[in-house]
Structure 1
Amino acid sequence: MEGYQHIGKYIGEIHRSSCMYFSKRFSKFEIGSGQYLFLLNLYKNPGITQEELTEKVKLDKATTARAIKKLEDKGYVRRIKKESDRRAYMLELTEKAEQIKEEVFLIMEEWEDKIRSCFTNEESEELMKLLNKLSKSSLISKGELYE
């Protein structure tokens, strides 16, 4: 249909741009765009289990396992079997991960600044409210889009 616009197109474009940006910026740490999200969540949630991390990032268990394996192989994460549940793994950041923490957050802030530069403060706040509302909606938070 001529003139038809859909939100998914724009969300997809923004997502692809962010992936390219993060891939380039994190390449010096040998971290791909698929791992930075997990690393950020580990900084913010020390001692989290792999299952809890999966829930936080809203991805499947296999994707989380692959990303953690890559971070582990690069020396950023250790998986430790939980005493209370030998099937569960607690995730612990290494000293190597702690050494890059400040720069990781700086890269995230730079991207945020680039995105927000397109908007006034009021527009930026309104966009955040709308995206937060969409993210918390049952469509996204309960995975209804996949049913």
Structure 2
Amino acid sequence: MDEEIFENAPFIAWIHNLSKSQLKYLNSRLNDLDLGHEIKYIMMIYENPNSSQDDLVNFSGQSKGNIAKIVKKLEDRGYVERKVNPNNRRKYMLKTTSKANDIVPKIRKVSKEWEIEVGLTPDDDELKQRIKEISINSMKLVGE
């Protein structure tokens, strides 16, 4: 790889590259699950039970239609279930099933391996927190 070409790449390209390369790594190590990018949605729902499809849209930046397809696929494959939100009967709350819950430790293990391989250390926790803050600010900026 010619690293010189990347010297002047915009910051957002680096963030995108991290996301894509982590997903490729996860899928290469977890190819028996045959999940693709759905892995990140399983983790989002697992970490945020009773979240809605709108929450996934807001966090991921994907369209409502794409998220609906992803959730339907995960539901059909037995990883996610939808329940009507008692506070808003037109919305669904999403929750991972036991099938998804069983694979979460494996996903976390491989994700941690990726962090080690790319050089993230506990010393980078402050950096990770700062990137989360920037991401939240970014979502608020475009949501206004």
Instruction: Give me the TM-score of the superposition, normalised by structure 1.
Output: 0.74
Q: Deviations over 1:18-39 (max 9, x none)?
A: 221122233211211x211211
Q: Which residue pairs with 2:49 in the alignment?
A: 46
Q: Which residue pairs with 2:24 in the alignment?
A: 20
SS of 1:87's equivalent? strand
What displacement does 1:79 show?
1.6
Letter of the 2:97 counterpart: T
Instruction: Give me the TM-score of the superposition, normalised by structure 2.
Output: 0.75
What displacement does 1:40 show?
0.8
* % identity of equivalent residues: 28
What displacement does 1:68 show?
1.0
In the superposition, relative to structure 1, how do residues 96 and 67 fare at CA in structure 2: closer, same or farther (>3 Å)? same
What displacement does 1:77 show?
0.9
SS of 1:18's equivalent? helix
In the superposition, relative to structure 1, how do residues 113 and 71 fare at CA in structure 2: closer, same or farther (>3 Å)? same
Q: Distance in 1 between matches of 2:76 and 2:101?
A: 16
Q: For CA contacts below 8 A with separation 6 or more, give which structure has more relative contact order.
A: 2
Q: Distance in 2 between matches of 1:49 and 1:16?
A: 24
Trace 1:1-147 onto structure 2 (pairs within 5 A): 4-32=8-36, 34-117=37-120, 122=123, 124-125=124-125, 127-137=127-137, 140-144=138-142
RMSD: 2.9
Q: Distance in 1 between matches of 2:101 and 2:126?
A: 34
In the superposition, relative to structure 1, how do residues 129 and 62 fare at CA in structure 2: closer, same or farther (>3 Å)? same
Q: Distance in 2 between matches of 1:82 and 1:121?
A: 38
What displacement does 1:108 show?
1.9
Q: Distance in 1 between matches of 2:43 and 2:136?
A: 20
Listed as ranges, the gaps of 5+ residues in structure 1 are none
Counterpart contact for 1:71–1:77, Cα < 8 Å: yes
Counterpart contact for 1:37–1:57, Cα < 8 Å: no
Counterpart contact for 2:58–2:139, Cα < 8 Å: no
